[in-house]
Homo-oligomer: A and B are copies of this chain.
C-alpha cells in the first residue's frame, strides 16, 4: 500500500464520504487511490473557490467534516477566500494539498511556492507529511484537529513522494473527539442572571442555532423570557414554523445598535461578541450599547448545545413548552418587481425542509424576516464577509442533503467571483434553484461611500461601483455551464420560475433584473 492509498483509506475510516477537488499533476497518485475506492465520492469544481465553498456547505448540512483535495500553493490560494468563510463558520475541514516531491523542492521549479506559509494564515492546523509511513497518522491527526475546538480548518500538505512511496499505514481511530463543555460556574452564573429577570438575550452561534441546540434555546427562552438573537454572520440557522424565533443583528451599525439597546445583558452561547464589519472615521465599530454587560456561557471553541443542555438542566426548564410558531399561509403579491414583493413570493413558495443559501446582499436584506413563518427550513449565511460563497455553498448543501430543495439567493456582483459553481450543479444534477438579484452595482460600496461622508461618487468612483457596462446576462452564463435559466420581469413570473425550479430534477437559474 502506498502513502496515497493509506491517506484515502484513513479518510474513509474517519467517516469522510465526499471529497471536493480540483486536482493537478502533483496529486495524481491521490487520484489513483480514489480510483481504487468506491466509498469516497469525488466532486469536481472548475475553480478552487468552488471546491472550498462547496466543502463548507456540505459540512454545515451533513454535520460531518468536509474534505478537499487541492493542487499546490496556487490551488490552495484560489480556495482561500472561501476557506476564510469556512473558518469563520467553524466548519470542520480537512484540506489535502499536494506538494512537489521532496527531492524536487531544491530546484525552485515554476510551480514551487511556500505552501505551509500560504496555508498558515487560513488554517488552525497545518502539517507537511514527512513520508508514506507517516501519511496515515497525519491524516488521522488532521481529521481530529478539524473536529476539535468547535470546528477547525486543518491543512495537510502531501509531498508527491509521500503519496507514491510504499509503506502506507491506515490509521483508524476509535477514540471520540473530545467536546469541550463550559465550566459549571459559567452555567450557574448565567442561570442566576436569567432568573433575575433583567432584559437578557442569548446570542447563539454554532450548533445552538439548529437541531437539539436550538430546541433547548427555545425551551430556555420560554421558561425565562430571555430573547434569542444571532450575530449578523451565522453559519446555519433552523427556522420557520415549529422553530423558536431568533432575531438577527442587522448589518447596518445603527440598526444593530437599535436592536441591542433593548438588552442589559447579552449571553454568548458559541457566538462571537457582535461587532460591525467596519469602523469609520466618525465612529468605531461597537454595536453593543454602553452599560450592556456581556457574559459567556460557551465560547466558540466549546459546545454550545452541551452548554444549553446544562443551562436548561440548571434552570429545570427541560419540560417547558417550546414557543413554536405556526406555519402561516403567506399572501403572494403580484405585479411589478419590488424587493418586498420578491421576499414575500420567496416565503410563500418555500418548500418544507428547504435549504436557503443567502448572499443576496443589499437586495435581499428583507428575505430572512419574510420567511420566518414559512415551512421549516435551514438558512445558511456568509460568515466571513468574503463574497462569492453562495453558489459553492449551495453545491455542498445539495450534495449533503439530496432529498431537500436548495434555494440559492445571490447577487450579480458576488456571484461573479465563483460562477463556475453552476457547472458543478449541472454535472451533479443538484436540485438548486439559484436566484440572481441583478442590480448591476456593488450597492454596498455605493452606500458605504456615502456613509463615510464623501458625498456623491464622482465618475471614477461610480465606474468602480457600477457593473452595468456591459450588463451581465445571467441566462447566457448559466446556459454556458449547462444550467437552464430564465429572466423574470414580474412577481408572477418570479413565483412561477421558483416553483419550476423546485420541481426540476436538476439546477435552474432565475435572473431578477432590479
Q: Give A contacts to B, CB under 8 Å.
A: 21, 23-26, 28-29, 31-32, 34-37, 42, 44, 46-47, 49, 73-75, 77-78, 80-81, 84, 88, 100-101, 103-104, 107-111, 113-114, 117-118, 120-122, 160-161, 164-165, 233, 272-273, 275-279, 281, 284-285, 383-386, 388, 413, 416-417, 419-420, 423, 426-427, 444-445, 448-449, 452, 454, 457-461, 463-464, 467, 469-482
Contacts and interface: CB of A to CB of B under 8 A. Distances in A.
The 10 closest A-B pairs by CB, nearest first: A470-B482, A477-B480, A74-B386, A476-B480, A77-B80, A35-B458, A74-B81, A117-B121, A111-B385, A104-B279
Contact of A25 (B104, B284, B445, B463): B445
A449 B28 CA distance: 6
A83 to B, nearest CB: 8
Contacts of A46: 413, 416-417, 467
A457 B25 contact: no
Contacts of A29: 452, 454
Contacts of A110: 88, 233, 277, 383-385
Contacts of A384: 74, 110-111
A31 B461 contact: yes
Nearest to A26: B278
Given A47-B388, A472-B482, 18 more contacts: A26-B278, A28-B454, A31-B449, A32-B454, A34-B461, A44-B467, A46-B467, A47-B416, A73-B84, A74-B81, A77-B77, A103-B279, A104-B284, A110-B385, A111-B278, A118-B121, A426-B470, A470-B482
A92 to B, nearest CB: 19
Specify how many copies of this chain sit in the oligomer: 2
A206 B472 CA distance: 38
A427 B42 contact: no
A445 B457 CA distance: 48
24 contacts: A28-B454, A29-B454, A31-B445, A31-B449, A31-B460, A34-B464, A35-B460, A42-B460, A46-B416, A47-B388, A73-B84, A74-B384, A77-B77, A77-B84, A77-B122, A100-B278, A104-B278, A108-B272, A110-B383, A110-B385, A117-B117, A164-B281, A473-B482, A478-B480
A49 B420 CA distance: 14
A268 B73 CA distance: 27
